[in-house]
Structure 1
Amino acid sequence: MTVLATDAIVLHVADYMESSRILRLATREAGVQSVVARGARSSRKRFGAAVDLFAEGQAQVQLKPGRDLHTLIGFDVTRARAGLALHLDRFAAASAIGEVALRLLHDEPAPGVYDLLSATFDQLAGVEPGQATSTALGGLWMLVAEVGFRPTLDECAECHAPLEPGTAYRFHHRAGGALCDRCSRLHPGGRLLPVEARDTVRLWLDNRVPTVADNAARAHQRLLREFLTEHLPDGRPLRAYHTWEGGIS
């Protein structure tokens, strides 16, 4: 057996048997890994905040060849991110990000994705009231781009003709972005993307957080969900995302 020491972020926690927990970790060196933290439910002395969602630190994982579930030996927390639990909008947004990350990532090294997740959770933990949704949407669009699905906004996703900056175009999820008028007629479906909405998505992809009104934020959440649904590898529902999109009452 090999012991892997790696930076890790807790993206999912589930109880396991009477005293343990199963964690799904985003790691810098090995992508997403599932680990069992034995005794984590009966005593927090061994792992402490390591079994809390969105905690980050140095994990020691005992890898078992040919197995999908490994053993967490230790976890030295460097960021607990308690701020994510202080407000429901922050927590719901972070949960949606974690869920999407688990669906997009595999057990392969992706340091760029790891750094992006870490930075997004840090931002979200201290975001000003009313900015959690916009911050999360930016993090999610950048995550989508980092794994190879960056949407095309300034040229047609089919024929690559340049698109006029002050014109609304149809956004076609399967094609991977905005379509010119000609290609839009050849590929029915999609959703009309107003000029302001296209500019807003571009800002998110450039790691800027625009101010977005509540009604526009809902439309952007729907647009991203439809895009994710088209490009995720299976048809399972995004439960945490749907909760986040539905709003916090």
Structure 2
Amino acid sequence: MGLVKTGAIILRTYKLAEADKIAACLTEKSGMIRGVARGARRLLSKFGAGLEPFTVVNLTYFEKEGRELVTIKESEILRSYFHVALEPETIETLEYLAQLMEEFAPPRQVDERLFRMMRACVEAAAQSPTQVEAVARYFELWILKLSGFLPDILNCVDCRKRLGDNPASAFLNFERGLRCADCSGEGELYISTGTQTQFASMHTFGPSEWAQRYMMLSRKSQEMLSDVTRRWVRNALEKEPRRGRLSPGPSSL
């Protein structure tokens, strides 16, 4: 408790009273927090642009025991992405990622992997606006994995055979997970070798490299991967997440 200084990413803000803001922040030292920034809406606020969504900052806040909201004292900009405001599709997708982070990340639970992943995905989306759809798929896979909801995408859930070693690749049962051709049952969704390889490569590549490989997949494979990841997200949340233009919902799954 007391004064805390930490790296943070501003996920979103909303109005409070006439001159204040509440900011939802993903921090390195404290996980997900929400804090009040007094006077942040005033023209000459000391916070300036330091509370703009997706800005990476050094955050200083005061925490009082028993209070859900902290009091934000300073927000020093380390990396800003003001230019993405000119890219509606990019900002819409980043808002979707922020929504997922707020849904999946437990309040006040520290996980530096979540922070690094969020920062890397924001950077990748901002640097390559044409690949924001692919970055969103990468983010969905990793938020599911780090939250414990991602099925095993490397091995058959039944016999534990390495998937992708067989040309028939894998089959998906949404209740059980991925299965090899020998263990698959009737009516399960066929996952092509290219799609399975793309799934597995999340463990090898960062968001930019993974997105580049995603964009080289056929449109059919992209749609399949998108449908599957969104179905996993929906099942984990037990509701349909907000859809952006670059985050299509499940089609026939």
Q: TM-score, normalised by structure 1?
A: 0.85
**Residue 48 of structure 1: CA displacement?**
1.4
Residues 1:110 and 2:115 aligned together:
no
**Residue 44 of structure 1: CA displacement?**
5.0
Aligned to 1:153: 153
- 5+ residue gaps, structure 2, are none
Aligned to 1:33: 33
Maintained 8 Å contact 1:5/1:58: yes
Residue 219 of structure 1: which of 201, 217, 224 is its match? Answer: 224
How large is the Cα RMSD of the aligned pairs?
2.4
User: 1:137-176 CA distances to partner (integer Å, 9 max, x unpaired)?
Assistant: 223323332333443223112442333342242223443x
Maintained 8 Å contact 1:113/1:147: no
* Distance in 1 between residues matched to 2:121 and 2:102, nearest whole Å: 15
CA 1:72 to 1:174, structure 2 compared with 1: closer, same or farther past 3 Å?
Answer: farther
Aligned to 1:166: 167
Aligned to 2:97: 97
Aligned to 2:192: 194
* Distance in 1 between residues matched to 2:26 and 2:117, nearest whole Å: 11
Query: Is the partner of 2:3 in helix, strand or coil?
Result: strand
Residue 204 of structure 2: which of 188, 203, 206 is its match? Answer: 206
* Distance in 2 between residues matched to 1:61 and 1:213, nearest whole Å: 47
Q: Within 5 Å, which residues of 2 pair with 1:1-249?
A: 2-106=2-106, 107-127=108-128, 129-163=129-163, 164-175=165-176, 177-181=177-181, 183-185=183-185, 191-207=189-205, 208-209=210-211, 210=213, 211=215, 212=217, 216-232=221-237, 235-239=238-242, 241-246=243-248
CA 1:156 to 1:216, structure 2 compared with 1: closer, same or farther past 3 Å?
Answer: closer
CA 1:12 to 1:190, structure 2 compared with 1: closer, same or farther past 3 Å?
Answer: farther
CA 1:159 to 1:238, structure 2 compared with 1: closer, same or farther past 3 Å?
Answer: same
**Residue 118 of structure 1: CA displacement?**
0.9
Counterpart of 1:71 in structure 2: which amino acid? Answer: T
**Residue 215 of structure 1: CA displacement?**
5.3
Maintained 8 Å contact 1:142/1:205: no
* Distance in 1 between residues matched to 2:100 and 2:189, nearest whole Å: 22
Query: Is the partner of 1:13 in helix, strand or coil?
Result: strand
**Residue 242 of structure 1: CA displacement?**
4.7
* Distance in 2 between residues matched to 1:203 and 1:83, nearest whole Å: 30
Counterpart of 1:220 in structure 2: which amino acid? Answer: L
Counterpart of 1:37 in structure 2: which amino acid? Answer: A
User: 1:51-96 CA distances to partner (integer Å, 9 max, x unpaired)?
Assistant: 2110111111111212221111111011111233231222122112
Identical-residue share of aligned pairs (%): 20
Maintained 8 Å contact 2:30/2:109: yes
Maintained 8 Å contact 2:34/2:70: yes
Maintained 8 Å contact 2:157/2:179: yes
User: 1:116-154 CA distances to partner (integer Å, 9 max, x unpaired)?
Assistant: 111111111111x53221122223323332333443223
Maintained 8 Å contact 2:194/2:221: no
**Residue 246 of structure 1: CA displacement?**
4.1
**Residue 37 of structure 1: CA displacement?**
1.3
Counterpart of 2:127 in structure 1: which amino acid? Answer: G
